[in-house]
Amino acid sequence: MRRISMRPARWLVPALAALAVLAVIAVMWLQRPGASGNDVGVAGGDAGQGSPPYAGSSPGDDPVPEPDKPDPLEPPPGGEPGTGDGDVDVDVHAGMIAATGYHVYDATHLAVVYTNGVPECYGAAGTPRVEEAADTVTVTIPRTPPTSDGDTACIDIALVDSLDITLDAPLGDRLVRDGSRDGAKLPLESLPNEDPAV
């Protein structure tokens, strides 16, 4: 006859230990930032609150909020100047696009380089204002309003472009400055098809 022991089965202790570990993990999961009591996994819970944007939602949940439309008065990604020896720490005035440098075609023709976001979302460069003085040429690039409606998806990408400027007098040794950044000095850049080493 087989003897029955009052000792618990060997598997019971490891099973209870595993359940205790799972309980600790579940408590930590629910206490993480952005968690809600409805979080079940990637596809469950409230999309936009700690779960990826592709996560689904349950019937009756609030619709997933659309990302905010970019502010056309904010500099777009990559829109802050950062090349050459210009004054890069000066903020861009609202409604303006910061120039990042300039090219010289000849004594009275320049191309002012700027960085902007997608024009439909951030607005396009308007007609530049040019103020010539004895020792400086100040160029201000206004931003036109965006043309997209609220249903347009806007991507964060920096687009480099330039505007051609015709001066009344030869540039000579005058400094070129950016009017959108309180007259920050713009660096002279080589033309894209020029070899800067020559």
| Phi, psi angle pair for 83, to nearest 5° | -120, 155
Per-residue pLDDT at 1: 60
Nearest to 191 by CA among 132, 106, 131: 106
pTM check: above 0.75: no
- Under the banding of pLDDT at 50, 70 and 90, the label for residue 186 is very high
Q: Where would I find the H helices in the chain?
A: 12-30, 119-122
SS3 19: helix
Per-residue pLDDT at 65: 46
Residues near 1 by beta carbon (within 8 Å), at least 6 away in sequence: none
Per-residue pLDDT at 34: 62
Per-residue pLDDT at 106: 94
| Phi, psi angle pair for 109, to nearest 5° | -125, 125
CA distance 146 to 119: 6
Q: Where are the domains of the chain?
A: 7-65, 96-185
Q: Where would I find the H helices in 58-198?
A: 119-122
